[in-house]
Amino acid sequence: MILFCLPFAGGSKRAYANWSKLTNCPLEIEPIEIKGRGERLGQGFYADMTEAVEDIYAMIKNKIQEEPYALFGHSMGTLLAYELYYKVKTEGHQLPRHLFFSGRQSPIVKNNMYVSTDMSDDEFIEKIIALGGIPEEISQSSELMEFYLPIFKNDIRIMESYKFKERAEKLNCNITVLNGLEDKIDATQEITWDYLCEQKSKSYYFTGSHFFINDHVKKIVNLIEGELMPE
């Protein structure tokens, strides 16, 4: 079983670097590196969510021919995972066994962004740092923050321009939703996720705010293992 992990805004595959060390079963954790950061720094940025999903699909399509797999996405990664499901379905490949949506309302919910590309650079950087999740060596360096600013801004821009499109066929696999108790997520999120699913989704809450995943890595990996390989 492969778990493809999709990044949050500004994030790289490095965010999931330690997950494979915490597994207790034969689960292959494969973080996805998208354009413009990490190993793909200098490759430019995506024009929109569709281009990002096309690129991710190209990276995984050969691996999902036979091997069972699941998708995990945090924040921006939830939108990528949601749209990737339908891209895979359109291409006629086997669907994921499970979808894990973390740290974001369902795609139906609008106006749930913490930051905006309309903000000044200073305000934008201040809000991004306040959210947490940025390595200390970056957040405490004005030069590094300025270097990463275009990456953050482009990720936020493609989320701002994303338009939810309702499909005739709902998500037809198991769904697990994870959120931080202090995150900006309201009670409607369970209703809106369930509206998109053939079956009722499961919800789990953790102490912490938007980047609660960094404080509960072991618990989250164990939860994922329990859902994917209950035996």
Which domains are assigned to the chain?
2-109+166-228 (3.40.50.1820)
Q: pTM of the full predicted structure?
A: 0.95
Residues 138-165: what's their mean pLDDT? Answer: 93
In terms of Cβ atoms closer than 10 Å to its own Cβ (0-12, 13-18, 19+), residue 103 is buried
Give the dihedral of Cα atoms 225, 227, 229, 231; nearest 10 deg: 110
Closest CA to 15 of 27, 32, 2, 3: 32
The answer to whether residues 3 and 29 touch, using CB atoms and an 8 Å cutoff, is yes
Asked whether the beta carbons of 56 and 32 are under 8 A apart, the reply is: yes
Residue 55, strand partner residues: none
- Lowest mean pLDDT across 159-163, 168-172, 182-186: 182-186
Q: What is the mean pLDDT of the chain?
A: 92
- Distance between CA atoms of residues 153 and 167, nearest Å: 29
- Reduced to 3 states (helix: H, G, I; strand: E, B; else coil), residue 122 is helix
Tens digit of each residue's pLDDT (9 = 90 or more) over 7-58: 999 999 999 999 999 988 889 999 999 999 999 999 999 999 999 999 999 9
